[in-house]
Amino acid sequence: MTVAEIIINRPTKHLQKCFSYRIPTHMEYITPGWRVIIPWGNG
Residues comprising the chain, all counted: 43
* pLDDT at res. 43: 58
Strands (E), the chain: 2-7, 18-23
- pLDDT value for 19: 87
Domain coordinates of the chain in residue numbers?
Answer: 1-33
Task: Supply the pLDDT for residue 25.
Answer: 92
| pTM higher than the cut 0.95 | no
For the chain, 43 residues long, the average pLDDT of each consecutive 10-residue run is 84 79 90 85 64
How many Å apart are CA 19 and CA 4, to the nearest integer? Answer: 8
Residue 36 has a pLDDT of 86
